[in-house]
Amino acid sequence: MILRVGLLIVGFATSFTSCLPVSELPGSRHIEIEGFSTGIPLPKHLLDLVRARAIGTSKASWELGTLAQALLEIDWPQLSVYGTHGVPPPRSVKDNGGINNITSVLAVADHTIAIRPPGVMSLMQDGSSGDPASIGVPMLIANWTQLSRPDAWKNDYNTPLRQQMDYILNLAPKTPDGAISHRSEIVQLWSDSVFMVPPFIAYYGALHQPHVHSWLLYHSYEQIRLYRNYLYDPQKGLWKHIVGGPWGTDDGVWSTGNAWAAAGIMRVLLTINQTTVGHQPMFMAAQRNLQNWATEIVNNLWQHQQANGTLLNYPDDPTSFADSASTALLAAITYRLTAISEYLRGPPKGATRDPTVNAQFGATNVTIPPLVALRPDTLKSAHKARHLVLQSLNTTSGWLMNVVDPYKFGSRGTESPEGQNFVLMMESAWRAWRDWVIDRA
């Protein structure tokens, strides 16, 4: 990514939750890999260090958005789209004795409000059309829970949210067929953008259950479909990084870009699935495509996994360097896909079919695509990757080592805020996978 405008977060209140020690997972899904066990959690002191580095160094818009999502998943998993509450979260952050207070996530939203200059349409001033939208979900949650937080009653989340949505839908550059540009000064599509923009559009449309905004939900899917049309390389089965514009293109299948895309696809899939229109045939077809596209990336990217478990920065280039950051994020998505039945809970009870939803978008005869299955060895790949990532953590500082430079994607880096966030996402996904295995045993 190109360096964006951003400021250091100060005064974040974090909740450090401990891992549950599990020495061995029961049941047939437990896989032993030589030299380590899949049942060992990241030690609490090291998890705390990883979290502290992520919070202290996430400055740019996409880093803040990724940080908020990572904190939501690791500290308040029940409130993410993967959690038991799903969409929408509770109105009050004081529910259940305060376990839903999402302090660290709300801090990202409040920090964004505090540093946002007047006259800016995006949530943050940025050279990217897409990156500021990554902060949209925590901002929506802050707005949703505002009345339960006396200290936030005077905050105006609603106006920036409406301006951000207006900007990406109506003002941001687009391709002729409507794909929203990741850059603000030219029409250029980055695979990264699938994590930034579509999840915000989908969550915005789903939040007011049971009265959802079906056009926004479908538009989030359409953006991913359009991006895949432009970026998918059928010879490699993976997504190109950057296409379009007079400069800065990258036809390589960048590992982090593919992992970004898969992670964004999963969030949109689960958001749509949990709405009152999620069981409509048109949306069911969209969900199947989304699941297949995420699976496609996971299956094909792991084919380039190195013997020690890592991915290379450009997976099909043997001269490229090892990158623990993309390795962590792809492991997270693999754990989520492996336990997908746990997350596809469907719409709320009592939801009824509305035949006008299909007619609204011109869909009459809808065919659900066949399911693309995960390769049998993908879970083993995730375990190898997680082991590599844990071994790549500096036990003194908490920094993830052997990472791509997050501001110069073709170069080796030393410290990566997004890499720290990916470790948190990976550990949250692993915990959820572990619990899913135990429940099924």
Sequence-separated contacts (24+) of 109-117 with Cβ below 8 Å: 109/68, 109/135, 109/138, 109/139, 109/141, 109/142, 109/157, 110/142, 110/152, 110/155, 111/7, 111/9, 111/10, 111/12, 111/64, 112/64, 112/139, 112/160, 113/155, 113/156, 113/157, 113/160, 115/7, 116/160
- Residue-wise pLDDT for 299-343, tens only, equals 999 999 999 999 999 999 999 999 999 999 999 999 999 999 999
Token readout for 215 is 């056009």
Q: What is the mean pLDDT of the chain?
A: 88
Q: What is the pLDDT of residue 4?
A: 32
Rounded Cα–Cα distance for residues 263 and 313 (Å): 17
Helix (H) / strand (E) element for 407: namely none
Closest by CA to 303, choosing from 193, 384, 381, 391, is: 381
pLDDT in tens, the chain (441 residues): 333 323 233 333 332 222 222 222 233 334 444 444 567 899 999 999 999 999 999 999 999 999 999 999 999 999 999 998 889 888 888 755 566 778 899 999 999 999 999 999 999 999 999 999 999 999 999 999 998 888 887 889 999 999 999 999 999 999 999 999 999 999 999 999 999 999 999 999 999 988 899 999 999 999 999 999 999 999 999 999 999 999 999 999 999 999 999 999 999 999 999 998 888 889 999 999 999 999 999 999 999 999 999 999 999 999 999 999 999 999 999 999 999 999 998 876 666 666 666 667 666 688 999 999 999 999 999 999 999 999 999 999 999 999 999 999 999 999 999 999 999 999 999 999 999 998 887
- Does residue 363 sit in helix, strand or coil? coil
